[in-house]
Chains A and B, each alone.
Chain A
Amino acid sequence: MAELNTGGGSGDGKKVRSKKSNPGVDLTAMVDLAFLLITFFMLTTTLSKPQSMPLAMPDKNPKDQVIDRTPIPEDRMMTILIGKDNKILWYMGILKTPRIQPTEAAFGKDGIRREILKNTAYAKKFTDKADEGLIVNIKASDAASYKNLVDILDEMAINKVQLYAIGDITPEEVTLLKDKGLY
C-alpha cells in the first residue's frame, strides 16, 4: 500500500524537512517520445507535392478542323514513331518522300536526344528566324507504353523543341514499324 507521509502525524516532535530534490529532470523518456513522434510525422506527411508535366493538346473539334490549317514546312518536321520494346523510329519530312530516311533509335541521351539535337541544327538551316526550329510530331503505336510517351515529352522539354504535338499514327506508319520489326 502506498503511504502518505503527512509529517506531523507521529507527534514525536521532529521537524519536517522539505527534501531538496535535484532540479534537473530526467528528460530521456521525453526526448524518446518526441523523436518517435517526429519520425511518425515525417514518414506519414506528403511534404512535396507531386511533379507534373503540363500538356496541351490541339483542339479536336470535328467542325472547325478544316478552317485553320497552317502548312508545316516539311524541312523542319520530324516525326517520331514509338514502337514496341522502347524502340523509336524517326524520319524527317513526309513519309512518302522523307528528307531523312526512317532511322531507328533508342531512348536516352545517347539515342533520341542526340538525333533531336542533330535535327534541330538541320531544321535551323531552313529558317532565318531565331525562334523557329524543329517541329516534332509524336506518334505512339499501340505497342508503346505510357512511360515512352512521358520520356519523349521529356526529351522535348530538355531539347527545347519549338513546337511539338501528339498525333495519331497512320496505317502506313504502322506498316513501316512492322517492316522494321518494331511493332
Chain B
Amino acid sequence: MAKHKISRKSTRIDMTAMCDVAFLLLSFFVMTATAKQPEPKPVDTPASTIIDKLPEEGVATITVGDKQVFFTIPRASRRGTLERISQEKGLTFTEKEYKAFEGMDGFGVPLNQLKSLLSKSSAVRNAPGVQIGIPYDTINDQLSDWVKLAREAHKAIYEDQLQTGKINTEEFGKKADLGIAIKGDAKEDFMTVKRIIDILQEQKKNRFFLITGLRNKDF
C-alpha cells in the first residue's frame, strides 16, 4: 500500500491583496472624511420617516437642548456676521478674535461673554458647562440678532457674486437666503421650540428645516 504523504503547507499567506484592499479603503476614507466637529451641546434628535437630506451648504443650525440655544453659522458667513455684530452692538474685535470666531463651529454664549469664549482653546470651549446658551427670551433676544445678521452676511456674499457676474439672478434667488435648521432635543419642551419658530417668523423666515433621525413607519 502506498503511504499517504501529508503535504506540509506553509502557514504564511500572501497578504498582498489584503494590503491592497486595506489601503484602497483607507484612501477612500481619508479623501471623503469630514471630521466630526465637537459640539458644545450634543442633542438627541427625534426620529422621523422623512429621508430628505439637509442641504450641504448655506444652512445655519440652531441647536436646542435643556432650554439652551446654540447657533452654528456656515463658515463663509462667519466673519461677516461678527463684523455686523460688532457694528450693531458697538463691540470691537481683534483680528485674532475674528480668526477664532471663524474656526469656531457652534457657540452659545451671551454677547458679553463672547470675547472670553473666543480667547479659550477649542477643547475648553466645548467642555460641558462653559457655554450657557444664547439668550432668546423676549426681553433680551440676542438669538434674533444673530440670525438676522447671519442672514445679512450670507446675502451680502451672494450679492457680491451677483455683481461680479459669477452667478445669475436665478441662482441668486435660490441661494441668497440663508437656510435655517432647528436641531432640537427630543425631550425638549414644545414651548422652547415654539419660541425659536416665533423668532424666525418675526424675521419672515417661514421655511426652515427640522433635523431628525431616521426610522421606519412601524412605530
Q: How many residues of B contact A (CB 8 A)?
A: 59
- Which residues of the other chain, B, contact A166 by a CB distance below 8 angstroms? 197
Q: Which of A61-109 contact B (CB under 8 A)?
A: 61, 82, 108-109
**Interface residue total, chain A, C-beta cutoff 8 A:** 47
Residue B49 at the chain A interface, CB threshold 8 Å: yes
> Which of A8-16, A40-48, A124-132, A173-181 has 4 or more CB atoms under 8 Å from chain B?
A40-48
Report the Cα distance A30→B16, complex, angstroms. Answer: 10
In the complex, which residue of chain B has the Cβ closest to the Cβ of A58? Answer: B206
A117 at the interface (CB under 8 A from B): no
Q: Which residue of B lies closest to A157 (CB)?
A: B50
User: Within 8 Å of chain A (Cβ to Cβ): is B131?
Assistant: no
Within 8 Å of chain B (Cβ to Cβ): is A1?
no
The interface residues of chain B lying within 8 Å CB-to-CB of A24 are 12, 14
- A158–B190 contact, CB under 8 A? no
- A144 to B198 alpha-carbon distance, docked (Å): 17
Name B193-219 residues within 8 Å CB distance of A.
193-194, 197-198, 201-202, 204, 206-214, 217-219
When A146-B185, A146-B188 are in contact, do A45 and B33 touch as well, CB less than 8 Å? yes
Q: Which of B51-59, B102-110, B158-166 contacts A (4 or more CB under 8 A)?
A: B51-59
Do A31 and B29 form a contact, CB below 8 Å, given A56-B207, A140-B194, A145-B190? no
Complex-state Cα separation, A49 to B219, whole angstroms = 23
Q: Which of A30, A41, A59, A154 contacts B30 (CB 8 A)?
A: A41
Contact across chains for A38 and B218 when beta carbons are under 8 A apart: no
Q: In whole angstroms, what is the CA distance A49 to B33 when docked?
A: 12
Interface residues of B in 1-43 (CB under 8 A from A): 12, 14-16, 18-19, 22-23, 25-26, 29-30, 32-36
For B35, B183, B190, the residue with the greatest tally of chain A CB atoms inside 10 Å of its CB is B190
Q: Are the CB atoms of B188 and A145 closer together than 8 Å? A: yes
Q: Is A161 an interface residue (CB 8 A)?
A: no
Pick from B50, B183, B190: contact of A82, CB below 8 A: B190
**B187, CB-defined interface residue at 8 Å:** yes
CB-defined contacts of B181 to chain A, threshold 8 Å: 52
A52/B212 contact (C-beta < 8 A), A60-B201, A153-B48 known: yes
Q: Which 4 A-B pairs have the closest CB atoms?
A: A41-B29, A34-B22, A27-B15, A147-B186
Chain A contacts to B: CB under 8 angstroms: 24, 27-28, 30-31, 34-35, 37-38, 41-42, 44-47, 49-61, 82, 108-109, 140-142, 144-151, 153-154, 157-158, 166
Can you identify 7 A-B contacts, CB atoms within 8 angstroms?
A: A50-B212, A53-B48, A141-B190, A146-B185, A150-B47, A150-B210, A154-B212
